[in-house]
Amino acid sequence: MTAEAVTRLQRRILDFIASFLQERGFPPTLGEIGEECGVANRSSVDYHLGALERAGLVRRSQSRHRGLELLAHPFRLPVLGRVGAGRGLIAEEDVEEHLVLDKRIVRGADFLLRVKGDSMIGAGILEGDLVQVRRQSSGEDGDIVVALVGEDGVVKRLRRGGHAWRLDSENPKDAPITAEFQVVGKVVGLIRRYGK
């Protein structure tokens, strides 16, 4: 089992452990987890903690009361196949899936966008990669951004030329975009999957 494959109940347990730790400074007992998450018996809680441990999200110590350590605190991010124009930035019909990721990996991202095409190969962004995007309506010269050009969402490098802004590709075969555009996010990271 991977961090991506946790069930809804296991996610709830993980969230409860994290908030309990933050509020009280020590982990909850099996009974407290069961009571909060609606799990009637402790053996069921233990089963779900075992699944979270196999996923590398928690570590249990049988020799200590409250022997539970949170290794990572993941959260769900939507993966978009495209950025929607006019319907709001994240339209439900554009969400391909949700990924459960560790906060330390995603560095403030609000969503993931699946890259299509090869216009950013010079920046090391390949087709099929997931770029981590933080919502914002502006950027600085040199930032890699997600922008709307008409109805299309694009990933490009934001450049200032004199008083005008443009969107540059990182592929010499593509011309800069000088048409009107709207920045909707800044790329803050990248996830690449290998294999199927």
The residue among 193 and 133 whose pLDDT is bigger is: 133
Last residue of a domain, one of 14, 38, 72: 72
Cα separation, 68 vs 26, in Å, equals: 9
**pLDDT above 60: residue 26:** yes
Q: Same domain, yes or no, for 17 and 110?
A: no
> For the chain, first and last CA: distance in Å?
16
Q: Same domain, yes or no, for 119 and 135?
A: yes
Contacts of 162 (CB under 8 A, 6+ apart): none
Q: What is the biggest distance separating any 2 CA atoms in the chain, rounded to whole angstroms? A: 67
Q: Same domain, yes or no, for 36 and 50?
A: yes
State both tokens at 175: 């011309």
Judge whether 196 lies within some domain.
no
Residues designated as active site: 119, 156
pLDDT tens digit sequence for 33-91 = 999 999 989 899 999 999 999 988 888 887 777 888 878 665 678 888 876 544 445 55
Q: Same domain, yes or no, for 140 and 54?
A: no
Which range of residues forms the domain containing residue 161?
Answer: 75-191
Residue 176: DSSP 8-state: P
Last residue of a domain, one of 25, 43, 72: 72
State both tokens at 105: 């990996």
Q: Look over the chain and give the mean of its residue pLDDT values, rounded to a whole number.
A: 84
Q: Which segment of 87-91, 105-109, 152-156, 184-188 scores lowest on mean pLDDT?
A: 87-91
Residue 157 sits at the vertex; the CA angle it makes with 146 and 169, to the nearest 5 degrees, is 105
8 Å CB contact between 109 and 189: yes
8 Å CB contact between 107 and 132: yes
What confidence score (pLDDT) does residue 99 get? 77
- Domains of the chain: total: 2
Q: Same domain, yes or no, for 39 and 114?
A: no
Q: Same domain, yes or no, for 81 and 163?
A: yes
Q: Which segment of 3-17, 48-62, 125-139 scores lowest on mean pLDDT?
A: 3-17
Handedness of CA 33, 35, 40, 42 (dihedral sign): positive
Judge whether 92 lies within some domain.
yes
Predicted TM-score (pTM) of this structure: 0.64
CATH number at residue 143: 2.10.109.10
Last residue of a domain, one of 72, 99, 129: 72
8 Å CB contact between 157 and 96: no
